Structure formats: C-alpha cells, structure tokens
Amino acid sequence: MTYNFDEIIDRRNTGAIKLERRIAMYGSEDVLPLWVADMDFRTPDFIFEAIRERCEHPILGYSMPPKEFYPSLIKWINDHHQWDVKRSWIGFLPGIVPGLAFAVQSMTEEGDEIIVQPPVYYPFFHVVNNNKRVLINNPLKTVNGKFEMDFDDLESKITSKTKLLILCNPHNPGGRVWDKETLERLADICTRHHILVVSDEIHADMVLEGYHHTPFATVSESAAQLSLTFMAPSKTFNMPGLISSSYIIPNEILRNRFVDYLEASELTGGNIFAYAATVAAYEKGEEWRKQMLDYVQGNIDFIVDFLNEHIPQIKPMIPEASFLIWLNCKELGMETDELFEFFAKKAGLGLNKGTTFGMGGEYHLRLNVACSREILKQAMEQLLVAVVDLFI
C-alpha cells in the first residue's frame, strides 16, 4: 500500500513533549515545534493492529515476550545489517537512554573516566555526570561538511582511569553513518587501552539511500568482545512512547555482568504492548520504512535546496541517516543563545540549541524534518522573512 506522509495530525491534548514544553523552552506556544526527535507521521497501522489484537483478550496480566519477539529481532538485524546475532546475546531493555545509564553503573565505578564525542546526543553527558563519573570530551572534527573522529585527540586523553566510551552510531545530531574503517580504528584503540564501547544504534534502521549501517560489534572480533550494543524500533516506526529496546552483548562475561545488574534492579521486563508492537514492526514494517525514508529524504532535499537558494548564511550538514539536520548559523552573526531566541521569537520556530549537544555546538541548531512538507515550507518561509528583516 501507499502511505500518506503529507497528512497533518493535530497532536494537542496528547501529552506530546514537543507541544507541552513550548512555553518552558521558547516562552510561547506560538512556535512550530521542530525539535523533539520523534515524527509527526502517523504511527503505522500494523503497530496499532497488533496492540488492538492483544487488547481483545480481557486480561492484561504479567506477560513474557511472545515467542516471535526474539526471532523477529534476530532476523531483522541479519537481513538489514548482516549481523548474525545469537539468541543468548540479546535481551529486552526499557529504553536506550536508561540502558546507557545501566551500562555506566554496571561497567564502571565512581571516578572512572568515560569518553563521549561531542557534539552529541545530550543524555550521553547526563548519564556520566549524574552517576559521578568523569566526563572526557573527544570532540568530532568537521571535514568537508561532515563529522570525522579525531583519533589523535582520543589517544592523547586516555589514561589508566578511562574505562568506557559511548558511541553514537549513526551519529546524532550530525546524521553521520560511520564507515567500517572508522569503526575499525576506534575498535583498535579501545582494544589496546582496554576500553569498553557502548554503541547507541537507535538510528541504525534509518540510514538513507546510498549509505549502509555497520554495527560496531561487527567490525572485528575484538570489537564484538568489548562492546554493548543497544537497538530499538522506536525511532524508525514512530513508537518511542512504548519504550521497547534491546541490548546485544556477545561477550559472556560483560553480558552476565549487565544482566545481573538489570535483574538486581528488577529492570528486565517490558510491557505487553511494547512486545506486540516490536514484533509487528520487524515482521510487517519494511515497506512502510522504505516509503518513510523516501519522504524524509525529500524533506531533507527541500530544506537543503531552500537554504542554499534563499538563506545561504545557514549551512546544513547533510545527514546520511535519520530525520535531523545540523544547521551551522554562524554567518547570521549571532551568538548561540541569541540565535535560539531569534529562531523562536522572530521566525516562530522551536529548534534545539546547539550548545545542548556539547563542544562544537556553538552557532548551531538542530532541525527535525520528520513532518509534512507543508509544515516545512511554512517553517522556511517564516525563517526567510525573519532573516530578510535581520539584514535590512
């Protein structure tokens, strides 16, 4: 079937974070909210059908994952990422960000050093700082309009207290799909220095045309043995409210340590709707995923072409995965806080402030394009009027 991604859906009175926090974030409800990384596309019907089918039974009791849960996950990963995941390696995880915190808590001690690569998804900082670990920044470099890892800087900052690195693969907010060579080099460094890698791969299934996702654990046997990989269908199928994720840990010692922590904290179980939706996504979702990514690519192309033609002062980093665009606004001549206010107050657009993502986020904003193209056209027209007024 053909899916309609042009549909505009009213999300008011649903508790949507992107709407409920507008006043706190921007001081007004009169902004187009293009910040939270979920999609305004209708969650696919097969997800709702699976939930409705489960609701036909009159008891919502304590439940195990359905028998199809892990086989569907294993097949999806093999089909899409050519990774032969063993059943013993995987388990349910109540969210990627909680998983990051669980990894920090179970694999390191207070005072240990943990490396992140900013600018990057801001909860990476929170799970380090809030758990009294020492944050070490290994900033990414921008080369020919794309992020690259700075391996010289990385090696210079490793000490005997450095225990873990949190990897964003693919990268958020830059949309970079890390190639195998980059991941191999990272794995070599971490192997030599006995550093574990926690790889957040929530955007793995949202790689755009012409690119291919490489799971970190697949680049070498040493990478497999030092890594914890977290995946989820939530971004891809627009169901983050169901909180359904998975861990994949090939190393038995690391896996037992992680699972022992989850079990001691009573964190191993999910809810019956998350289970049902995940199976539906992995068994019935491929055609929807392809059409959604085609539409997202069209939205990205629209934004890039519009900015290049009408607002060349704003330089978009063209994403290789997902629906987020990292905007370099330095040529507008404002500091980051002023930029954020300008977009909100003058253009009526609610975006993410770049400095939220750490070092390298200065003069940047993050734009979510997973919405109707009509909304994006409105957003760009509002921005153009504001920028023209700025330079008059």
Pair 307, 294 in one domain: yes
Of the three residues 260, 284, 308, the one that is the final residue of a domain is: 284
* Partners of 327 in the β-ladder: 316, 365
Q: Is residue 2, in this structure, part of any structural domain at all?
A: no
- pLDDT of res. 267: 86
| ∠ CA 289-96-118, rounded to 5° | 95
Of the three residues 255, 284, 313, the one that is the final residue of a domain is: 284
CA distance 37 to 15: 15
- pLDDT of res. 26: 97
Number of domains in the chain: 2
Pair 221, 322 in one domain: no
Q: Is residue 55, in this structure, part of any structural domain at all?
A: no
At CB < 8 A and 24+ separation, what contacts does 220-224 make? 220/184, 220/187, 220/188, 222/187, 222/188, 222/191, 223/183, 223/184, 223/187, 223/190, 223/191, 223/197, 224/250, 224/251
Q: Is residue 158, in this structure, part of any structural domain at all?
A: yes
> pTM (2 decimals)?
0.97
Q: Is residue 7, in this structure, part of any structural domain at all?
A: no
The range of the structural domain enclosing residue 318 comes to: 17-44+286-391
Pair 221, 97 in one domain: yes
Q: Are strands 324-328 and 364-368 parallel, antiparallel or unpaired?
A: antiparallel
Pair 92, 163 in one domain: yes
Coil, helix or strand at residue 317: strand
- Here the tokens at position 132 are 């009294």
Cβ atoms within 10 Å, residue 118: 20
CA distance 68 to 87: 12
* Residue 31 amino acid letter: V
CA distances (Å), 264 to each of 143, 259, 325, in order?
45, 8, 40
- pLDDT of res. 392: 75
Pair 223, 117 in one domain: yes
Of the three residues 284, 300, 322, the one that is the final residue of a domain is: 284
Q: Is residue 157, in this structure, part of any structural domain at all?
A: yes
Cβ atoms within 10 Å, residue 154: 22
Pair 367, 274 in one domain: no
Coil, helix or strand at residue 67: coil
Residue 381, domain CATH: 3.90.1150.10
Q: Are strands 315-317 and 324-328 parallel, antiparallel or unpaired?
A: antiparallel
Q: Is residue 49, in this structure, part of any structural domain at all?
A: no
CA distance 195 to 115: 10
CA distance 157 to 170: 23
Cβ atoms within 10 Å, residue 30: 11
Q: Is 191 exposed, middle or buried (0-12, 13-18, 19+ CB in 10 A)?
A: middle
Pair 106, 116 in one domain: yes
Q: Are strands 32-33 and 349-350 parallel, antiparallel or unpaired?
A: parallel
Pair 225, 195 in one domain: yes
Q: Is residue 12, in this structure, part of any structural domain at all?
A: no
Pair 82, 153 in one domain: yes
Helix (H), strand (E) at residue 52: helix 45-55
Pair 227, 265 in one domain: yes
Residue 96, domain CATH: 3.40.640.10
- pLDDT of res. 150: 98
Q: What does the chain come to in residues? A: 392
Q: How does pLDDT run along the chain (392 residues), one tens digit per residue?
A: 899 999 999 999 999 999 999 999 999 999 999 999 999 999 999 999 999 999 999 999 999 999 999 999 999 999 999 999 999 999 999 999 999 999 999 999 999 999 999 999 999 999 999 999 999 999 999 999 999 999 999 999 999 999 999 999 999 999 999 999 999 999 999 999 999 999 999 999 999 999 999 999 999 999 999 999 999 999 999 999 999 999 999 999 999 999 999 999 988 888 999 999 999 999 999 999 999 999 999 999 999 999 999 999 999 999 999 999 999 999 999 999 999 999 999 999 999 999 999 999 999 999 999 999 999 999 999 999 999 999 87
- pLDDT of res. 270: 86
Pair 291, 275 in one domain: no
Q: Is residue 301, in this structure, part of any structural domain at all?
A: yes
Pair 125, 268 in one domain: yes
- Here the tokens at position 344 are 């909100």
CA distance 86 to 64: 19
* Partners of 114 in the β-ladder: 135, 164
